[in-house]
Amino acid sequence: MSDMAQGPGWWLASDGKWYPPELHPSVTTPTRNEPAASSLSTLPAKDRKGPPRSFLRRSLTHGSRTTLTAISAVVLLLVTVTTAVALTAGSGPKHSGPIGTVPATSAPGAVASTSPSPRTSSPGGGNPNAGAQGPLMSTAIAQQAFDSTWPPFANAVALNDLTGVSKYADKDVQHAVAGWFGCGCPPWPPAYQQLYLSAPPQTQYPVSFLAEIHETDYDGTPLVLEAVLSKENADAPWLVSYLVSFVGDADNPGYLTATTMDTQAPTTGTDVSGVGMQLAVFFQTVDDTGQPPPNEWPQTGSIAQETQDIINSRDILKENGLTETLTYSVGTHSLAFAIPGGDLMCGEILSYSLITSSGNGLVVQPADQSVFGSELAPGSYSSVTSQGIKDACWTVTTDGVETPVSFFGGVYSRVGTKA
């Protein structure tokens, strides 16, 4: 314990003190006759849908969970120019992430904030469970919710219609969709061939269920989407609250083989929600060091793609004489849903990026907006901040083996401080 960071990996705790890496909550040393807190998977992660990303059109989650009101305040105070996406629907039900911070692996400044508080009341206040009686989830309820929510949401995504998306997705997924398109990533077809549902018993709002959607991509590739749909209170609409997609084939067919409603997620022997923090720590280490940490998830599938995106961005920034300070943090997470042999959970990886010139020069966005994309107006800036969100899903088996599934999202806002 110290009042100052003493080296790489030291992290700032809630008591205002710095602690060494081995004492971080995400690190647990197993004792005899006690299972390890988690066991990283030797199984490959799924291949994420979409092409490799460059700095110019990347889906790295460069952003923190800052509200659009707060963004506007920054604009006014710093006299900045912003083209942040203005999306309007209320947030769906979420659950708080594990308490803790991402370790700073290169500098004390790279410490993320703690997870947001749980959101269990309706956006307008009041009792979210008013009028609720008995079970609130069943196959019929979930199927009806899916049929009224997913097709128009998928159609809006296919048309790149963010206004349409806002009617059927919570604000976080709206931002993730905006970031997905901002990186130049393609949509998916609205039509699907197979649907499986999963949810635990629920008698209080908010309520959620997992929908695993099997379809064929535009190029004929099998595609699987994992979507969590949620309802905040009795009067609220169903909204898509988490979403990932991955390439499905004979070796990666998905996780559900049938609809398993009213089924409690099995005990796994580890904190399923803690995987989100581990992913944030993983990405922070890659950005700070330029390589994945040892003894972590195998560099295959979506993990390998995300890792390479971060490394490529580091290199391109350096080539362009730019310096980036990037901080990852963990956002909210879903319920745990039962799958054969374990649990599936989804959550949010957040980050905030500050880009400046490596020398005393300016950060320039040319007239063709080729450096930072359409989110930032052409001009010369003393700095550029980026915000983003990425949904992630992961599985944990009953014997504690953790495997990332895939990721979805990207940068949804860039703000330039005028020189």
- DSSP track, 190-218: S--SEEEEEE----SSSEEEEEEEEEE-T
| Any domain includes 258 | yes
Report the percentage of the chain scoring pLDDT > 90: 48
* pLDDT tens digits, one per residue of 252-263: 789 999 998 999
pLDDT at 374: 81
Contact 54, 316 (CB under 8 A): yes
pLDDT at 316: 84
Per-residue confidence at 230, pLDDT binned at 50, 70, 90? very high
DSSP H or E run through 69: helix 68-78
How far, CA to CA in Å, does 185 sit from each of 42, 158, 304, 339, 388? 28, 11, 17, 29, 15
Contact 193, 215 (CB under 8 A): yes
Contact 416, 315 (CB under 8 A): no
Give the contacts of 17 (CB within 8 A, at least 6 positions apart). 1, 2, 3
Per-residue confidence at 248, pLDDT binned at 50, 70, 90? confident
Residue 326 DSSP class: E
Residue 16, phi-psi category: left (phi > 0), alpha (psi -120 to 50), beta (remainder): left
* pLDDT tens digits, one per residue of 161-204: 999 999 999 999 999 999 988 777 888 899 999 999 999 999 99
Cα distance between residue 209 and residue 226, in whole Å = 11
| Any domain includes 314 | yes
| Any domain includes 49 | yes
Per-residue confidence at 227, pLDDT binned at 50, 70, 90? very high
What is the residue type of 339? I
Per-residue confidence at 235, pLDDT binned at 50, 70, 90? very high
DSSP H or E run through 344: strand 342-357
Give the contacts of 231 (CB within 8 A, at least 6 positions apart). 92, 93, 145, 205, 206, 207, 208, 237, 238, 239
Domain residue limits at 181: 38-116+139-418
What is the residue type of 250? A
| Any domain includes 236 | yes
What is the arithmetic mean of pLDDT over 277-293?
A: 92
Between 210 and 250, name the one with better pLDDT: 210
pLDDT at 157 over 60: yes
Contact 97, 330 (CB under 8 A): yes
pLDDT at 1: 62
Cα distance between residue 140 and residue 147, in whole Å = 11
Count Cβ atoms below 10 Å from residue 286 Cβ, excluding itself. Answer: 23
Q: Both tokens of residue 48? A: 């994420």
| Any domain includes 17 | no
- Report CA dihedral (60, 62, 64, 68) to the nearest 10 degrees: -100
Contact 362, 388 (CB under 8 A): no
Per-residue confidence at 297, pLDDT binned at 50, 70, 90? confident
Count Cβ atoms below 10 Å from residue 103 Cβ, excluding itself. Answer: 26
Q: Both tokens of residue 279? A: 């992913």
pLDDT at 208: 97
pLDDT at 388 over 60: yes
How far, CA to CA in Å, does 166 sit from each of 93, 123, 152, 179? 15, 15, 11, 14
Question: How do beta strands 342-357 and 260-261 pair?
Answer: unpaired
Residue 28's φ and ψ, nearest 5 degrees, are -130, 130
Residue with structure tokens 């097709």?
A: 151
- Averaged pLDDT score across all residues of the chain: 75
* pLDDT tens digits, one per residue of 311-365: 998 888 888 889 999 999 999 999 999 999 999 999 999 999 999 998 878 999 9
pLDDT at 184: 75
Number of domains in the chain: 1
Question: How do beta strands 401-418 and 39-40 pair?
Answer: parallel
Per-residue confidence at 149, pLDDT binned at 50, 70, 90? very high
Alpha helices in 227-347 (DSSP H): 274-289, 301-319
What is the residue type of 97? G
Low-confidence winner among 58-72, 151-165, 290-304 (lowest mean pLDDT): 58-72
Question: How do beta strands 337-339 and 322-333 pair?
Answer: unpaired
Residue with structure tokens 């931002």?
A: 175
pLDDT at 222: 93
Please provide the distance, in angstroms rounded to a whole number, between the alpha carbons at the two ends of the chain.
Answer: 41
